[in-house]
């Protein structure tokens, strides 16, 4: 290094520069080979938030030159559309991906099985299982000759071909892959290992990384060797954006956001200027609309929910003796049950929530509209309506007119005229207003309630 530094200082150091570049390159190569292992965790239903999380995690791993991404799987399944995007991201990843069904008791069912098969490495912890990858269908089981039977067979055949293609790509058991789709077959971890569905069985992440140390993989036509025994493990947890997306794309939360949004706007409509109702309602409704465009939504269900809310509000204005209100509740319940056009695990709305929200909505909306009607029927106590009919005392007389004087009403001084002479301190009642002058008449001297 001394000669290299001397050559560089003397200005003729092309040899030293070459050596310096070589010395700087060697650690980079070592770091690339011994990069970090980044860990993603999917422990819920596969949905739009899962797509954002996995795609962002794989992109971050590639940007940080990680040597391996491990996806910890524990999922009952989820949306087929979301699963396919995740599978495509794994297949295009320049970083090897290992799917690990963990911890003990976890499962990789339905969509999780496809993700496991798409990964470069498949592993399972003891007492875990995978499979049951048949596409979820709505409605009754079709009978032979039924037009829906053809559609069902097409969907199952498409899913089976997709699964078999993944198995052939990764060199796994293609026959069982097709069986998992057509017959909803499942395997335990030991059975999966013996059937060549997975390559590794590990008790935890450290055990898996120890077994993967030295393994060679072909990624994008290049051979990559893993050095995972003592690699740095980086846990990529979901950020606030992914957490918010996970929350609002839960169909139960989406339904609540719709109702709260409608309530908020109705409060603002019934009581203009309150601000809070309009702001909260707008935010909730916009979040609900954003979630709906990400979810497999039946817009007939959305229309029925809106119709139900409209009918429940109309019940407070029309003398239908409850017919319109009951129709609104029925429409709301039907719409909520039809809101999601899938039976995928984790993307259905619970019946207890539907009935509870319908009952609370009916009571609150009818009560809110009733309160509005009462406020409109209440006597106005300000302006001209508040002046006419009120009584007060003469505070001063006009020097040039015994029929005129001054009173104080609603915090202001008014000039008054009477058909009979007035005196200071006399009680009078306002009978009319003419511009800035009030017409009054003498009132009984006994103070009346409310004076």
Kindly report the CATH number assigned to the domain that includes residue 122. Answer: 3.90.226.10
Q: Which residue has the tokens 């909803």?
A: 184
Report whether pLDDT(264) > 90.
no
Q: How far apart are CA 443 and CA 431, in angstroms?
A: 11
List the alpha helices (DSSP H) in 195-298: 205-212, 240-248, 251-270, 276-294
Strand partners, 107: 129
For residue 6, the model assigns a pLDDT of 41
Domain boundary among 377, 393, 410: 377
Average pLDDT of the residues in 188-207: 95
pLDDT band of 413, cuts 50, 70, 90 = confident
On whether the CB atoms of residues 79 and 107 are closer than 8 A, the answer is: no
pLDDT score recorded for residue 441: 82
pLDDT band at residue 435 under the 50/70/90 scheme: confident
Pull the structure tokens for residue 370: 């009733």
Residue of 65, 311, 61, 101 whose CA lies nearest to 186: 101
Residues forming beta bridges with residue 236, ordered by sequence position = none
Distance CA 386, CA 391 (A): 11
Cβ count near 143 (within 10 Å): 8
The tokens 């198995």 sit on which residue?
167
Least confident of 192-201, 219-228, 252-261, 420-429: 420-429
Q: Span 311-322, mean pLDDT?
A: 69
80 plus 210 within the same structural domain: yes
Residue 329's pLDDT is 82
331 and 435 belong to one structural domain: no
Residue 47 lies in a domain: yes
**Is position 276 within any domain?**
yes
Alpha carbons within 13 A on the beta-carbon side of 235? 5
Helices (H), 171-204: 174-182, 189-194
Mean pLDDT of 35-58: 94
Same domain, 220 and 324: no
Largest CA distance in the chain: 122
Would you call 184 helix, strand, or coil by DSSP? coil
pLDDT of residue 432: 81
pLDDT bracket for residue 36 (50, 70, 90): very high
Sign of the Cα torsion 297, 184, 128, 108 reads negative
How many domains is the chain partitioned into structurally?
A: 3
CB of 232 closer than 8 Å to CB of 34: no
DSSP string, 333-388: HHHHHHSBS---TT-S--HHHHHHHHHHHHHHHHHHHHHHHHHHHSPP-SHHHHHT
341 by Cβ neighbours in 10 Å (0-12 / 13-18 / 19+) ranks as middle
Strand partners, 68: 37
CA 210: distance to chain centroid?
A: 38
pLDDT per residue as tens digits for the range 10-22: 444 444 343 334 3
Question: Mean pLDDT, to the nearest integer, of 333-350?
Answer: 84
| Parent domain of 226 | 34-239
pLDDT, position 65: 93
Q: Check whether residue 228 and residue 268 sit in a common domain.
A: no
Beta bridge partners of residue 99, listed in sequence order = 71, 122
Confirm whether 426 is domain-assigned: yes
Q: Among residues 347, 377, 407, which one ends one of the domains? A: 377
In sequence order, the 6+-apart residues with CB closer than 8 A to the CB of 122 are 98, 99, 116, 170, 172, 192, 197, 198, 199, 200
CA 234 to chain centre: 27
Q: Which of 239, 263, 286 is the last residue of a domain?
A: 239
pLDDT exceeds 90 at position 117:
yes
Position 3 in a domain: no
Q: Over 50: is that where the pLDDT of 164 sits?
A: yes
Question: Residues 6 or more apart from 431 whose CB is under 8 A from it?
Answer: 388, 439, 440, 441
pTM metric for this prediction: 0.70
Residue 211 has pLDDT above 90, yes or no: yes
pLDDT at 170 over 90: yes
Residues 408 and 342 in one domain: no
User: What's the pLDDT score for residue 253?
Assistant: 92
- pLDDT at 28 (0 to 100): 35
Residues 273 and 212 in one domain: no
Residue 9 within a domain: no
Q: Does residue 219 or residue 390 have the better pLDDT?
A: 219
Q: Are residues 343 and 220 in the same domain?
A: no
Neighbours of 325 (CB within 10 A): 21
Q: CA-CA distance, 355 to 385, in Å (whole number)? A: 46
Give tens-digit pLDDT for 20-29: 343 343 333 3
- Answer yes or no: is pLDDT of 403 > 90: no
């Amino acid at each position: 290094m001394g000669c290299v530094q001397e050559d560089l200082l003397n200005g003729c150091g092309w040899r030293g520069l070459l050596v310096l570049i070589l010395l700087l390159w060697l650690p980079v190569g070592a770091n690339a080979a011994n990069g970090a292992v980044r860990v993603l965790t999917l422990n819920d239903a596969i949905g739009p938030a899962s797509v954002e999380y996995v795609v962002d995690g794989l992109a971050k791993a590639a940007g940080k030159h990680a040597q391996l991404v491990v996806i910890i799987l524990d999922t009952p399944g989820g949306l087929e559309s979301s699963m396919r995007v995740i599978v495509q991201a794994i297949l295009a990843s320049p970083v090897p991906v290992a799917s690990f069904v963990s911890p003990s008791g976890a499962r990789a069912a339905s969509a999780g099985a496809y993700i496991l098969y798409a990964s470069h490495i498949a592993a399972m912890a003891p007492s875990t299982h995978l499979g049951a990858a048949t596409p979820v269908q709505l409605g009754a089981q079709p009978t032979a000759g039924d037009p829906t039977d053809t559609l069902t067979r097409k969907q199952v055949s498409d899913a089976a071909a997709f699964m078999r293609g993944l198995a052939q790509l990764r060199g796994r058991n293609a026959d069982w892959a097709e069986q998992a789709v057509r017959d909803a077959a499942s395997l335990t971890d030991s059975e999966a290992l013996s059937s060549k569905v997975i390559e590794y069985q590990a008790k935890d992440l450290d055990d898996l990384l120890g077994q993967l140390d030295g393994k060679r993989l072909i990624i994008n036509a290049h051979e990559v060797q893993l050095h995972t025994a003592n690699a740095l493990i980086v846990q990529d947890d979901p950020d606030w954006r992914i957490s918010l997306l996970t929350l609002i794309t839960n169909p139960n939360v989406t339904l609540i956001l719709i109702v709260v949004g409608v309530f908020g706007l109705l409060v603002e409509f019934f009581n203009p200027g309150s601000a809070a109702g309009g702001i909260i309602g707008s935010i909730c409704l916009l979040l609900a609309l954003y979630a709906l465009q990400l979810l497999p939504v039946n817009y007939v269900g959305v229309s029925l929910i809106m119709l139900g809310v409209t009918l429940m509000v109309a019940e407070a204005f029309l003398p239908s003796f409850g017919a319109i209100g009951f129709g609104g509740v029925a429409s709301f319940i039907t719409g909520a049950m039809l809101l999601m056009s899938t039976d995928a695990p984790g993307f259905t709305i619970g019946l207890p929530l539907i009935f509870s929200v319908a009952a609370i909505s009916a009571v609150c909306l009818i009560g809110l509209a009733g309160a509005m009607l009462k406020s409109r029927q209440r006597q106005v106590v300000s302006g001209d309506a508040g002046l006419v009919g009120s009584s007060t005392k003469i505070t001063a007389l006009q020097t040039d007119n015994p029929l005129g004087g001054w009173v104080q009403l609603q915090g202001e001084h008014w000039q008054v005229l009477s058909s009979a002479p007035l005196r200071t301190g006399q009680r009078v009642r306002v009978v009319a207003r003419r511009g800035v002058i009030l017409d009054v008449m003498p009132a009984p001297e006994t103070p009346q309630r409310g004076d």
